[in-house]
């Protein structure tokens, strides 16, 4: 889980501070030692760690903490503030070309995930109404161009390349004409992975930059990179003047110290984060939310945005209409489950809910929420007749046995499903009353029925 | 042929500059061995990705020796550090071979560490040794992975067994082993899809692949290589731990050591998990993969001209 290690350590540190009426300098020193260790184990660059703890110390020893009624809370707030500003303050904007097509150049070390990220970016911007073109200019790694071509086909996005024998600069140049012919307004160019000490390849990137004058030069960085991440970002930045950074593979259990370091050292904002293998697993980077996540405060805003993107507005209105008329049927139940599931794997969704960030609680919840249950639920409902789905009260013992056989489950499973549905219907009823203003107190008892 | 040692040394130039030179500077500016020196030494080691635990252990050992041998000259600390690092890395452990062919090598790792490239290099090496090699394209997930392995198979003159993208990796492994037995292949190298060690179902898939190998050929796989990117930080420890749990990793192949990467993670993995580094990749050419040798690694790191 994202930053879990760091969050856990910091939380333990602050547990000791919490409830303390007054902090002494040695209290703060002890806490900062823990912070330092935690950050180092999270692969945050040493220079950055030193700077960070120094700043926190100065602020902690200032009046705002020592004279505050809840000093520990203040310390946590300061760490949160500083983490946020360390990671770049606000969400950074993406630069587009107001006249003509925009060009994005993706650069980075081998294996950082450039090609996959190119595909993800194309998909993301198409969702935002642009018409991207993917250009394969990695002529070195065997089958790299082929990889991008396959990805492009999967998501149905135009693709251009001249094959592995061509000069990358020529590929890029000719892609401009192709983009025009295809009516594309965003050209995403995948380049060869390289070591930042490889001067020859770095020259090639500079040529690409001079010829194309891209709106964005994005460095793709593996979030699992160690102390070296900063050097990588720094040297690419010196050569190319990066416009932003994309962190990949943040869905592992990396503590992602690289995220903390790169912005601090290079001044380049982190613009996107890759959070999964699927092509829709790319999100804008929100420094403030990430800081809260590190401190275990959850990431409610991301969750809400995810929910908004996943829930089909029209279906939601239809559901609302049905709720008012109390026509909520099993068919709607399946639809509802599908929409929740389209927000992503449950574990990911859960990790964003405040209070569930703690590793142990989350693991327990994951065990309880078996993803397979959804599959069973769907199977059971699919084994019913349309009549039964509309009017579950007609489902008697014999129908139950038939449904269980049809869905490969047991009668008990069918019973449980029907009960869950009843509960949902009740909650839905409360919910619709609530939205029409009959009661506000019931909101507290609202919970997902599964 | 340029000796591998000089090449390794060359590739570690950056590491040496960042690392050993800092140590040399350190011992030069300090007139006596004190806590301050150790503290700075700790920082240098941490910046090399050695990790907290392994760093503590190295420093502890140096402290002990300093006490026992009553050392007072700061310059000696460098010699001690070199000694302790070689000690920690241990003797070289070669890749395991089966007495009766085929030998099966399963290659695993997270995304983008260089699994397929490492396999290409391994195939090249075994072909040079006159062995009959078969590659199993069990990475059916990543777009272009099968094509990439095909190119390596053509380059090195190795056989390849492949299915369609998206097919069951275990089925490919099954077919590959059948083919290997029929054709009298010496070594089968299995390429698997990169996966983050935290994805439970994907790790389960690896377990299944390993099970199928063992069922088809008792005693196999003879070697399970975890490929680790030398630029990886402390997360490499978690990777090693979870891959070991799923597939009994027998050795590590360290790749991309030709960057500015410090490769200090090697020490951390050996210290905490006891998995030996067996191979090291230091370049992009077919022949840039060699057996790992701890004292060679440390000697090159220290910029020595010869090693014994």
Contact B234 A251 (CB under 8 A): no
Q: Is residue A270 part of a domain?
A: yes
Partner A, chain B 103-132, Cβ-Cβ below 8 Å: 110-114, 120
Q: What's the pLDDT at B35? A: 79
Interface check for B198 against chain A (CB to CB < 8 A): the answer is yes
Predicted confidence (pLDDT) at residue B215 exceeds the cutoff of 80: yes
- Residue A166 and residue A199 in one domain: yes
Together in a domain, A284 and A314: no
Q: Count CB neighbours of B200 within 10 A.
A: 12
Residue A79: how many other CB atoms lie within 10 Å: 24
Q: Does B288 touch chain A (CB under 8 A)?
A: no
- Cβ contacts (< 8 Å) between B201 and chain A: which residues? none
- Tens digits of per-residue pLDDT, B254-270? 988 866 666 788 888 88
Confidence band, pLDDT 50/70/90 cuts, at residue A349: low
Kindly state whether residues A398 and A310 are assigned to the same domain.
Answer: yes
Choose between B308 and A45: higher pLDDT.
Answer: A45
Residue A96 lies in a domain: no
Mean pLDDT of A49-69: 76
pLDDT digits (tens, 9 = 90+) for B143-190: 888 999 999 999 999 999 999 988 999 999 999 999 999 999 999 999
Q: What is the mean pLDDT of residues B101-127?
A: 93
A258 shares a domain with A119: yes
User: What are the φ/ψ torsions at residue A340 (nearest 5 degrees)?
Assistant: -60, -40
Is residue A229 one of the residues assigned to a domain? yes
Q: What is the pLDDT of residue B297?
A: 78
Residues of chain A positioned with their CB less than 8 A from the CB of B120:
142
B261: which chain A residues are within 8 Å (Cβ-Cβ)? 226, 228
Mean local confidence (pLDDT), A179-184:
93
Residue B37 has a pLDDT of 80
Ranking A22-36, A191-205, A300-314, B123-137 by mean pLDDT, the lowest is A300-314
Asked if B210 is an interface residue toward chain A (Cβ–Cβ < 8 A), one would say no
Cα A336 to the center of its chain, rounded Å: 22
pLDDT of residue A250: 82
A312-340 residue pLDDT tens: 556 666 666 666 666 677 777 777 677 66
- Which residue of B51, B165, B231 is in closest CB contact with A225? B231
Cross-chain residue pair B152–A142, CB shorter than 8 Å: yes
Q: Does A251 touch chain B (CB under 8 A)?
A: yes
Nearest CA in chain B to A45: B47
Q: At B278, which helix (H) or strand (E)?
A: strand B277-281
Residue B284 has pLDDT above 50, yes or no: yes
**Is 0.90 exceeded by the ipTM?**
no
Peptide bond connecting B221 to the previous residue in cis, omega within 30 degrees of 0: yes
Q: Is the residue at A223 inside a domain?
A: yes
Mean pLDDT rounded to a whole number for chain A: 77
Q: Shortest CB distance from A147 goes to which of B14, B144, B261?
A: B144
Residue B90: per-residue pLDDT: 87
Residues A216-241 have pLDDT tens digits of 999 999 888 888 888 888 889 999 99
Q: For residue B129, is pLDDT > 90?
A: yes
Nearest residue of chain A to residue B201 (CA atoms): A371
User: A346 to chain B: which residues are within 8 Å by CB?
Assistant: none
Residue B308 — very low, low, confident or very high, per pLDDT cuts 50/70/90?
Answer: very low
Predicted pLDDT of residue A210: 94
B150 vs A contacts (CB less than 8 Å): 143
Q: What residues in B contact A277, CB-CB < 8 Å?
A: 111, 141
Transcribe A313-329 into DSSP letters: HHHHHHHHHHHHTT---
Residue A426: its pLDDT value, please? 73
Interchain pair B258, A195: CB under 8 A: yes
CB pairs under 8 A between A and B: 137
Judged against a pLDDT cut of 90, whether residue B135 lies above it is answered with: yes
> Which stretches within A102-185 are classed as H helix?
114-127, 144-155, 168-182
The torsion defined by the Cα of B162, B142, B97 and B295, in degrees rounded to 10, comes to: 150
pLDDT value for B49 = 83
Same domain, A202 and A252: yes
Weakest-pLDDT range from A154-158, B15-19, B108-112, B159-163: B15-19
**Rounded average pLDDT over B102-121:** 93
CATH of the domain at A63: 1.20.120.140
Contact in structure between A160 and A124 (CB atoms under 8 Å): no
Query: Quick one: A68 and A185 in the same domain?
Result: no
Is residue A92 a part of any domain in this protein?
A: no
Interval A270-297: pLDDT, tens: 899 998 888 988 988 887 766 665 555 5
Do A76 and A166 lie in a common domain?
A: no
Same domain, A250 and A344: no
pLDDT of A44 reads 83
Please report whether residue A437 resides in a domain: yes
Among A262-271, A371-380, A383-392, the minimum mean pLDDT is found in A371-380
The pLDDT value recorded for residue A31 is 75
Q: What is the pLDDT of residue B303?
A: 55
Chain-wide mean pLDDT for chain B? 84
Domain boundary, last residue among A266, A297, A328: A297
CATH of the domain at A374: 1.10.260.30
Mean pLDDT in residue range B127-143 = 92
How high is the pLDDT of residue A66? 58
| Of A29 and B57, more confident | B57
* Higher local confidence (pLDDT), B69 or A28: B69
Same structural domain, A224 and A258: yes
Model confidence band, residue A174 (pLDDT cutoffs 50, 70, 90):
very high
| Residue A413 domain-assigned (yes or no) | yes
Domains of chain B, CATH where assigned = 4-89 (1.20.120.140), 103-292 (3.40.50.300)
- The closest of B13, B141, B22, B32 to B76, measured between CA atoms, is B32
Residues with Cβ within 8 Å of A135's Cβ and at least 6 positions away in sequence, in order, are: A159, A160, A161, A171, A172, A175, A187, A188, A189, A190
pLDDT at site A62: 72
Q: Does A36 touch chain B (CB under 8 A)?
A: no
pLDDT-derived band at A418, boundaries 50, 70, 90: confident
- Total domain count for chain A? 3
Picking from B157, B218, B227, the residue whose alpha carbon sits closest to that of residue B190 is B227
Q: To the nearest whole angstrom, how far is the Cα of B292 from the nearest Cα of chain A?
A: 21
A75 and A110 assigned to the same domain: no
pLDDT score recorded for residue B153 = 94
User: What is the arithmetic mean of pLDDT over A181-188?
Assistant: 94
pLDDT greater than 70 at residue B77: yes
**Phi, then psi, of A287 in degrees rounded to 5:** -55, -45
Q: pLDDT tens-digit profile of A99-148?
A: 889 999 999 988 888 999 999 999 999 999 999 999 999 988 888 899 99
A332 three-class SS: helix
* Boundary residue ending a domain (A255, A271, A297): A297
Of B143, B235, B284, which has the smallest distance from its Cβ to A254's Cβ? Answer: B235
Residue to substitute from A34, A48, A111, interface B, most B β-carbons within 10 A: A111
The pLDDT of residue A443: 39
- The answer to whether B139 and B146 are in contact (CB under 8 A) is yes
Alpha-carbon gap: B122 to the closest alpha carbon of chain A (Å): 16
Mark which of A57, A86, A115 sits at the end of a domain.
A86
What is the structure's pLDDT at A102?
94
Mean pLDDT on B34-60? 82
What is the domain range of residue A348? 304-445
Select the residue of A41, A147, A224 nearest B232 (Cβ to Cβ): A224
% of chain B at pLDDT higher than 70: 85
Q: What is the CATH number of the domain that holds A291?
A: 3.40.50.300
Q: What is the average per-residue pLDDT within B55-70? A: 89
Which residues does chain B have within 8 Å of residue A362's beta carbon, measured at their own beta carbons? none
Given a cut of 50, whether residue B1 has pLDDT beyond it is: no
Judged by CB atoms closer than 8 Å, whether chains meet at A41 and B51 is answered as yes
Does any domain span residue A95?
no
A207 with A76, same domain: the answer is no
pLDDT at A122: 95
Which pLDDT value is given to residue A70? Answer: 62
Q: Examine the domain organization and report whether A16 and A162 are in the same domain.
A: no
Please indicate if any CB of chain A lies within 8 Å of the CB of B234.
yes
């Amino acid at each position: 889980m994202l930053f879990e290690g760091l969050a856990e350590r910091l939380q333990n540190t602050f547990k000791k501070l919490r409830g303390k009426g007054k902090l002494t300098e040695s209290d703060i020193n002890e806490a900062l030692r823990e912070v330092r260790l935690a950050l180092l184990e999270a692969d945050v660059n040493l220079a950055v760690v030193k700077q960070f703890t120094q700043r926190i110390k100065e602020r902690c020893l200032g009046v705002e903490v020592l004279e505050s009624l809840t000093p520990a809370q203040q310390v946590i707030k300061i760490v949160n503030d500083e983490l946020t500003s360390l990671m770049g303050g606000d969400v950074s904007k993406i630069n587009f070309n107001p006249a003509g097509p925009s060009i994005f150049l993706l650069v980075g070390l081998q294996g950082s995930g450039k090609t996959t990220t190119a595909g993800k970016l194309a998909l993301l911007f198409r969702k935002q109404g642009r018409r991207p073109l993917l250009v394969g200019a990695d002529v070195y790694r065997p089958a790299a161009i082929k990889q991008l071509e396959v990805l492009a086909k999967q998501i149905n996005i135009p693709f251009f390349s001249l094959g592995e024998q061509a000069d990358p600069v020529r590929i890029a140049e000719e892609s401009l004409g192709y983009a025009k012919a295809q009516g594309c307004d965003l050209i995403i160019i995948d380049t060869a992975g390289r070591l930042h000490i490889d001067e020859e390849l770095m020259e090639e990137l500079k040529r690409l930059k001079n010829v194309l004058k891209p709106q964005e030069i994005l460095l793709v960085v593996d979030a699992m990179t160690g102390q070296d991440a900063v050097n990588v970002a720094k040297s690419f930045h010196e050569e190319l003047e990066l416009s932003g950074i994309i962190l990949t593979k943040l869905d592992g259990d990396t503590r992602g110290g690289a995220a903390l370091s790169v912005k601090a050292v290079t001044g380049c904002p982190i613009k996107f984060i890759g959070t999964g293998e699927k092509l829709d697993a790319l999100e804008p980077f929100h420094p403030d939310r990430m800081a809260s996540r590190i401190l275990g405060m959850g990431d409610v805003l991301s969750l809400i945005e995810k929910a908004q993107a996943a829930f089909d507005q029209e279906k939601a209105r239809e559901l609302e209409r049905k709720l008012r008329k109390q026509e909520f049927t099993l068919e709607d139940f399946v639809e509802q489950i599908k929409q929740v599931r389209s927000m992503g794997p449950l574990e990911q969704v859960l990790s964003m809910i405040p209070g569930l960030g703690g590793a142990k609680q989350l693991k327990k919840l994951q065990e309880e929420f078996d993803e397979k249950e959804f599959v069973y639920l769907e199977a059971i409902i699919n084994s019913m007749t349309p009549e039964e789905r509309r009017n579950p009260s007609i489902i008697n013992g014999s129908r139950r046995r038939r449904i269980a056989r049809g869905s490969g489950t047991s009668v008990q499973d069918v019973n449980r499903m029907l009960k869950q549905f009843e509960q949902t219907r009740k909650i839905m009823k409360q919910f619709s009353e609530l939205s029409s203003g009959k009661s506000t107190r019931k909101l507290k008892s609202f919970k997902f029925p599964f | 042929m340029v000796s591998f040692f000089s090449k390794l040394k060359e590739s570690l130039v950056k590491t040496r500059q960042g690392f050993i030179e800092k140590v040399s500077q350190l011992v030069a500016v300090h007139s006596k061995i004190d806590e301050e020196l150790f503290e700075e030494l700790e920082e240098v080691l941490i910046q090399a990705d050695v990790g907290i635990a392994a760093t503590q252990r190295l420093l502890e050992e140096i402290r002990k020796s300093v006490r026992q041998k009553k050392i007072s000259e700061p310059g000696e600390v460098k010699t001690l550090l070199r000694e302790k690092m070689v000690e920690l890395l241990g003797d070289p452990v070669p890749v395991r071979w089966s007495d009766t062919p085929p030998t099966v090598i399963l290659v695993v790792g997270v995304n983008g560490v260089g699994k397929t490239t490492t396999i290409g290099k391994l195939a090249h090496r075994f072909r040079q040794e006159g062995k009959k090699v078969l590659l199993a394209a069990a990475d059916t997930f990543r777009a272009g992975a099968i094509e990439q392995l095909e190119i390596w198979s053509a380059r090195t003159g190795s056989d390849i067994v492949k299915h369609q993208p998206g097919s069951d990796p275990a089925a490919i492994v099954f077919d590959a082993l059948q083919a290997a037995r029929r054709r009298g292949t010496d070594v089968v190298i299995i390429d698997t899809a990169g996966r983050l060690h935290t994805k439970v179902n994907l790790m389960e898939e690896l377990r299944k692949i390993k099970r199928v190998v063992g069922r088809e050929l008792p005693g196999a796989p003879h070697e399970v290589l975890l490929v680790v990117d030398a630029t990886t930080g402390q997360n490499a420890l978690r990777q090693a731990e979870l891959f070991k749990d799923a597939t009994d990793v027998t050795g590590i192949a360290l790749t991309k050591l030709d960057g500015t990467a410090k490769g200090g993670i090697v020490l951390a993995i050996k210290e905490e998990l006891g998995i030996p580094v067996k191979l090291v990749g230091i370049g992009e050419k077919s022949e840039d993969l060699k057996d790992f040798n701890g004292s060679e690694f440390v000697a090159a790191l220290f910029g020595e001209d010869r090693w014994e």
